[in-house]
Structure 1
Amino acid sequence: MASIYVRVIQFFVAIAACLLAGLIGSIFTTPAIPTWYAALAKPALTPPAWVFAPVWTVLFILMGIALYIVWSKGWGQKKVQVAMVIFAVQLALNVLWSYLFFGLQAPFFALLEIGLLWVAILMTICAFYRVSIPAAALLVPYLLWVTFAAYLNYGIYALNP
């Protein structure tokens, strides 16, 4: 059994890893918001730009907590290893979407990629479910938000040929 200190470190590392992914994504996102993104035609239901940062921050924290729960079940277990690898892939895809959409300003390629991201999140939820139902449940808001983001991405692509 891991000591309380190891668990506390794992907890903060898991959350920090997810927040770091968000920070990396924001490097591509932040400069494009007042310029390129502001000039785009957007679909109905598009929230104001200021909504995205707090929503993503909460989602990254929930992802970190979910990651910690799975990690705390023991790295030596095959199902934990598989779940964490799938998680890492979806986290990388999350950052890639920001790069494609905001960094390259390529909504079409971002739309293709967000489909992969959505599948990867669903796979992560399934893998986490095998380890911890609460960890899987913590990722459901993330899947719902990415579903909404896919709608927005498609709308922007369709409205800005």
Structure 2
Amino acid sequence: MNSTKFNPVAFILNLAITLFVGYLGSWFTLSSVKTWYVTINKPSFNPPDWIFPPVWTSIFILIAIAAYRIWQKKDQIQHFPRTVAVYLIQLILNLLWSFIFFYSRQIGVALFEIVVLLMVVVFNAWVFYKIDKPAGLLFIPYILWLSFATVLTYNIFVLN
């Protein structure tokens, strides 16, 4: 990190905000995962339902750690509010995908939205990487999973 002392309140706040967004997304998901989602056509490589909660929880923890690392360098970042805005935008887009796909059941709109989300997440990773290399690298699992989720969403769109 840097010479800044660990701040448990800031760390917990970063973790809480990020995990809360994940929790809200799961709330939208739960509204359809046992009803509508089981009725739609999915590709053969669709993972089992149980895999999503631990993967997303792990990803949210990793990006919360990345956000905390950036927060620790806030005094060194010329445009810190913009950096925070990029992070918050990708969180909002992440939440929005769950709402569009699972709650609204709009697969085509969700496909468009996840492509935008993936681009914003890659941009977020790049912004973080320029400030703190480990923070940017913590986004790699997120980018990989979102890339897979984009392919999955595309295939679900085509099959339905």
TM-score (structure 2 length as normaliser) = 0.94
- Give the conservation status (yes or no) of the 8 Å contact 2:100–2:106: yes
**Per-residue deviation, 1:81:** 3.0
Give the stretch that moved more between structures: 112-121 or 82-91.
Answer: 82-91
- Give the conservation status (yes or no) of the 8 Å contact 1:108–1:157: yes
| 1:123 aligned onto 2:123 | yes
Q: Deviations over 1:80-139 (max 9, x none)?
A: 333221111000000000000001001100000001100100110110011100000001
| 1:155 aligned onto 2:151 | no
Q: Distance in 2 between matches of 1:85 and 1:133?
A: 19
Q: Which runs of 5+ in 2 are unaligned?
A: none
Distance 1:75 1:82, change over 3 A: farther
**Aligned position for 1:22:** 22
Sequence identity, in percent?
37
Q: Which runs of 5+ in 1 are unaligned?
A: none
TM-score (structure 1 length as normaliser) = 0.93
Amino acid aligned to 1:57: T
**Where do 1:1-150 residues align within 5 Å?**
4=6, 7-75=7-75, 77-150=77-150
Matched residue count: 158
RMSD: 1.5
Q: Deviations over 1:55-82 (max 9, x none)?
A: 0000000010000000111256224333
